[in-house]
Structure 1
Amino acid sequence: MYWKEVVVLSDYCAIPLDCPLRVKDEGSVFEVLSGLSAYDVSRMAGEVWVKHNHEPRYVNGGNLKAEEINHIHSHFRRNLCVILSKSAAPAFKPWQHTGSYSEGFGYGMPPVPDRGKKREEPASDVASDEDSDNEKPPLEIKNLRWEHADEQLKKDTPDSAHEGGTIKLLADFENYVDGGGVDFILSDKSTGVKKQLKRIHTRCKNGASEVEWIVDVSKIEGKPDIIFEVEAGSLLSAPCEIVIGSKITYIIDLAIGPNYEKSHDDTIRLFSADDAKSYDKTLTVKADKKTDDNYLTLEFPDVDTSLHYSLEIDKGSEGEKYCLFKNKSLKVVSNG
């Protein structure tokens, strides 16, 4: 990894201990890294993390740059990384050194010239390095998408999420370093103004990132209008929409005589088809909403129309249990 002023190497043995450019005390770590951009610090921290860890790293919000510097510092203290900085020895010119720094370690220092000969600095080499930096392909954030964590919901309602359900937010990257910081930003636009709901931090791995979000739109008045964006480096992606299923009160009339003595211990259970059974409510004949007829009228509140449901009737002492319908959308189930 190369920066013009500072280099962080994830291999402690890569540089001789007495190299003049080597940062040696812990206090200098903060001073050296604080002068860099948040983007560069994030890339350095990612390089160190990928070298010495096998799982994604999560940062707990707040000042992300400070978190990344602390991350590098913790590895520095354990001799897991090396930091080189021009500020450690401003007057040091490696090509004038007669020691081993320029021979065999391969960290960008030219070979030692013959004594008595003046070393020529080819201007074309410098220009070539600068041109190379300028020609680096730009970072791209693409293919934003989301999916249910629940396998059944992936099949039943792939296009809409629901309150309390867990969904995965995913994105792909081009020309982004493994371990680089990534933020998934969830917002609501229902009021006409984008309001951030949650920011989830993770890292790029193999050109992709994903996080999980437990859908929580309970504090939003009216119909939610949810989007998420992805931020990596200094780039913010285009938004991706998350459709949230609406909630209704499901009313059903059943041919069960509420005044019939043997029906008094009957139970009627409405439950969702997802593995987590995110909706599961049982009512009895006492919940009858109309007492002036021979039907049992029940109301199931807060039913998410994006889910599929089954209705189970347990006849109690009569010993019979059956499903009136199974794994159906309430939009297509006839009432009664």
Structure 2
Amino acid sequence: MKKSFTIYILISVLIISCKDVPAPEEPTDVRVPVTLTSIDTTGLQSYIDLNATATYLVKNVIKANATGYLNSVNVATNDYVANGQELFSIKTREAKVLGNSINKIDPTLGFGGAIKVLSNTTGIVTMVNVQQGDYVQDGDALVTINDAKSFAIVLSLPFELKKYISIGQQLNVVLPDNSTRTATVQKFSPTVDATSQTQNVVLKINGKQDIPENLIVKVRITKTSSNKAISLPKLAVLSDETETDFWIMKMIDANTAVKIPIEKGVQTEDKVEILSPVLSPKDKILLTGNYGVGDTIKVKVIKDK
């Protein structure tokens, strides 16, 4: 009886011990999840967008050509007027007082007629300073007209960027509604702003002018251009803290990526030109999952972008 009890105890201890033995761990997947990209050969441009203002360079002030009373006012603010168009008529004090009497004596004299004030330019009326019946003196400002031919886009260009622009060059102008126009570089201001060290550049819009005055637009200036550049997305290019050394992670087989030092060229908002080494369209480069990894890593491709 005692011997059977001892055997029972030993079997029980053995069973419990077996339950406490941990099961062998399954091997974990240490591969880094990544996405891939390849080179782009569609060409590359490096450019900068600068603000510019739409304005009229010439504002004509039409003045009274006689002293007297405004007999008629034929213009209002925002009117478009043509060169030679009658804007006002002025009746002198003498004509107003004596005109009818003298004309009754001799109608052929035509005394007492109003003196016409004509526009000397074609453009848009921005300000009318008088109204019918006002008394004005010779030389008084009556109306201001923006000369339509003087409309321009004025760009404040940092002087260090002047080498990228020349007279007659065609530039793209982007409006706030994302519509675009083409403008020609007409002339440079002979002075530079003392504070900002910028030089005004006058651009003329090609074709019909339909841009309102004082609108702020963007002018795109191309700094460098290459039609045969080999480039990669910015995310694919890595660098050290001082940004002196650059590299990419290139796939050498289906599961392995290695560090490849590169020399970069033109850089845009989303692309970087690769000058060396020479990459081919078949090369697969890590786009994500490449940051903070070793020189050689095992990877698992999630998406080939």
TM-score, normalisation: structure 2 = 0.24
Greater gyration radius:
2
Structure 1 or 2: more strand by fraction: 2
Structure 1 or 2: more helix by fraction: 1
Q: Which has the higher contact order (CA 8 A, sep 6+)?
A: 2
TM-score, normalisation: structure 1 = 0.22
